[in-house]
A and B are shown apart, each in its own frame.
Chain A
Amino acid sequence: MRDNSLPERDVDTKTVKIAARDVQVYYGDNHAIKDVNVDIEDKTVTAFIGPSGCGKSTFLRCINRMNDTIDICRVEGDIRIDGEDIYDRAVDPVQLRAKVGMVFQKPNPFPKSIYDNVAYGPRIHGLARNKAELDDIVERALKRGAIWNEVKDRLHAPGTGLSGGQQQRLCIARAVATEPEVLLMDEPCSALDPIATAQVEELIDELRQSYSVVIVTHSMQQAARVSQRTAFFHLGNLVEFGDTDKIFTQPEDPRTESYITGRIG
């Protein structure tokens, strides 16, 4: 079986892709995220860990403004991608989401064919000029999603007919088909079995080459396996943020230590 240590790669930690400053999120009167400051680097996997309800998913959904769909949700502070404030009035969230792809907790393929699932994003963004180009994009995305070999003979079968792990990889392929720059993953493996999880994790490590990947996870082992940087959230606060190795071996904050050793959470 596979061991838990991934081969070390050179990590370009110089460029900051996403910079969050004093981010506050309110659900009605509930202050869900308090003063979060974080710099997420390009071509890096950043993991958000923390107990349930600590706000890590909420913060993730701020990065592509999915929280806009929740009426009572209010976001304050500053989130910048490549230096541009994504909560600026001039920013259209639809354009933002083309740039910041997202993979959800539960695999949610459209009840359409595998091909149409992947082709949908490129189609609505006009990325392909003709059928051949679209075929190309779909093939590339499915290969990147590490699912091409399994589905290449049944591209027109419904996406909902795949197994859970395949569905999730299809969703990843769908997300990368629009050529995003950032990929957000909200507990992408929580509905998957260990084998499918391993496949998706391997995939995440591949994707790091081209994207800035942010992953929310409940599994500390997973965070340790796939990420280079880890952020620990607790009760809406960002408690600690740093290199994954350091967080898991020499945490500075006692709360982080308690959490990773299993005393809280």
Chain B
Amino acid sequence: MTDMPTPQPIPRKGSLLVQDARTVKRNRAEARFKMYGIIAISMGLLMLLILLTTIIGRGTSAFQQTFVSLNVPLLAEKLDKKGNRDIEDIKKVSTFGYAPLLQAGFEQKVADLGIATDLKPKDMANLLSKDAAATLRDFVLANPDQIGETVVFEFLAQSRVDGYLKGRVTRDSIENDKNISAAQLDLVDALVADGTLAKKFNISFITGADASDARPEAAGIGVAMMGSLAMMLVVLALALPIGVAASIYLEEFAPKNWITDVIEVNIANLAAVPSIVFGILGLAVFINYMHLPNSAPLVGGLVLTLMTLPTIIISTRASLKAVPPSIRDAALGVGASKMQSVFHHVLPLAAPGILTGTIIGLAQALGETAPLLLIGMVGFIASNPPETIAEGLLSPNSAMPAQIYEWAKRADPAFYERAWGGIIILLVFLITMNAIAVLLRRRFERRW
């Protein structure tokens, strides 16, 4: 026993109530580190906010389009000269032949409203989109019995008029513009005051096909969306079973030797390979060697499958690894075979992780543009919406990100707005997919 000189000993290493120099220093370092973290996160959030406000601010206008409502007389002497209502004869009138009807309709409208203008009917009809004649012809061919009547139509206005209503085009900016004149803008103002010309929600931006440089107002992302969906179908149908089967084999059955080690390292490396390399591979193998059609979503889907596989394999292996070995032991212990233990016990427990990985992989593939460049899916591809699944897979098409890129590089600022609008749609898809991934994980995650 040692002697205790006083009942209340003086602390040998200084008081606990006073922080020593080292502690002060350590605490400061910790506070600094926390501050850096907060700064980094706030910078990130700020950038995200800027990104979102920019996208929404510039893109929402793409969902609205200026329409002109007109009463167009479907004159029989122009459309059906023989008067026998034979559809083959009516088809002989090209879109060009419908222009006079539009001019007549516009002239009538202006006269009815009592607007004083020096413009010729041709210049008035110029306010309409170049798409208007085609819209009219499609209607007549679909309803030949309407010939001779006067029908109310909502036509797209041309992009300068649309830009004028959206503030993109001003009277100053059109001084050297041969597409529109100040007198035409006067007419536009008068028509807006009357309500003939108005901005409306434009569903055909979401459902329609791309349009040529001369008529940005008619361009839509719908067909590209179908292309993206067809590709996702291919990716899901191929990458999920192949990826999951490969990971189960590698994780549960394959012997651990140098061959599997090499395969493992290479899968990890493949996940980091630039996606354009997969595009070159797709071009060489699927198009040049296997002679699959150019620009087809099937080929795009195959390329994206190659790109997505490593992601799916890595996440599947991780979730298989996360299943505790005691479950495998338990299954083997009651006499289950290796395969029974994997399929009855391990796989169901790993399923939420596998699904999450797959959806993240799909989302990644959905946003991919570079590999599509090489197989001809980036470019002006204005096809009709595919009618069958086979057509959707094999006929030339684009994809959403490719369509956005295509619009962004065109000269007319009206396409620029559509590029932003397309980004909004793409983001909605991606956020939905990620939300599904989070929900699945929450819903099916099991604890043990």
Contact = CB atoms under 8 A, between A and B. Distances in A.
Interface of A: 64, 66, 69, 71, 94-95, 97-99, 101-104, 106, 108-111, 120-121, 124-125, 160, 171, 174-175, 177-178
B334 A178 contact: yes
B448 A94 contact: no
A238 B319 CA distance: 40
Contact of B334 (A69, A95, A106, A174): A174
Interface stretch (B54-62, B264-272, B295-303, B323-331): B323-331
Contacts of B324: 108
Given A111-B349, A111-B448, A104 B330 contact: yes
Interface string B314-358: 000000000010111111111111001000110001000000000
B335 A95 contact: yes
A64 B326 CA distance: 16
Interface string B57-96: 0000000000000000000000000000000000000000
A110 B330 contact: yes
By CB atoms of chain A within 10 A, which of B329, B337, B447 has the most?
A: B329
Contacts of B349: 111
A98 B331 CA distance: 11
A28 B255 CA distance: 15
B329 A66 contact: yes
B446 interface: yes
A104 B333 CA distance: 9
Given A110-B345, A160-B448, A175 B326 contact: no
A150 to B, nearest CB: 20
B22 interface: no
Contacts of B447: 160
B330 A111 contact: no
A237 B389 CA distance: 69
B334 A175 contact: yes
B256 interface: yes
B337 A94 contact: yes
Nearest to B336: A124
Contacts of A97: 332-335
A70 B337 CA distance: 15
B347 to A, nearest CB: 13
A63 to B, nearest CB: 12
Contact of A104 (B326, B335, B336, B337): B326
A90 B115 CA distance: 100
Nearest to A117: B330
Nearest to B337: A94
Contact of A101 (B331, B334, B336, B344): B334
Contact of B335 (A106, A110, A111, A125): A125
A145 to B, nearest CB: 13
B335 A178 contact: yes
Main secondary structure of the interface of B (DSSP, over half): helix
B256 A71 contact: yes
7 closest cross-chain pairs (CB), A and B: A98-B335, A108-B326, A121-B334, A102-B333, A97-B335, A108-B330, A94-B337
A104 B334 contact: no
A71 B255 contact: yes
Contacts of A104: 326, 329-330, 333
B256 A111 contact: no
A194 B381 CA distance: 76
A175 B333 contact: yes
A94 B448 CA distance: 26
17 contacts: A69-B328, A94-B335, A94-B337, A97-B332, A101-B334, A104-B326, A104-B329, A104-B330, A108-B326, A109-B330, A110-B327, A111-B446, A120-B331, A121-B334, A124-B336, A160-B447, A160-B448
A160 B349 CA distance: 14
Contacts of B256: 71
A125 B328 CA distance: 17
A101 B446 contact: no
A108 B346 CA distance: 13
Contacts of A99: 335
Contacts of A177: 334
B334 A66 contact: no
Nearest to A159: B448
Nearest to A125: B335
B329 A108 contact: yes
B219 to A, nearest CB: 52
Nearest to A103: B333
A106 B327 CA distance: 11
Nearest to B328: A69
Contacts of A120: 331, 334, 336, 344
B333 A124 contact: no
Interface string B220-258: 000000000000000000000000000000000001100
By CB atoms of chain B within 10 A, which of A66, A98, A108, A121 has the most?
A: A108
A124 B330 contact: no
A79 to B, nearest CB: 17
Given A97-B335, A171-B330, A174-B330, 15 more contacts: A69-B328, A69-B329, A94-B336, A97-B333, A103-B333, A104-B329, A110-B331, A110-B345, A111-B446, A120-B334, A121-B336, A124-B335, A124-B336, A125-B335, A177-B334
Interface in B150-179: none
A94 B327 CA distance: 16
Contacts of A103: 333
A177 B333 CA distance: 12
A174 B335 CA distance: 11
A156 to B, nearest CB: 16
Contacts of B328: 69
Contacts of B334: 97-98, 101, 120-121, 124, 174-175, 177-178
A121 B345 CA distance: 13
A185 to B, nearest CB: 11
Contact of B327 (A69, A98, A108, A174): A108
Contacts of B344: 120, 124
A111 B330 CA distance: 11
Contacts of A98: 334-335
Contacts of B332: 66, 69, 97
Contacts of A94: 335-337
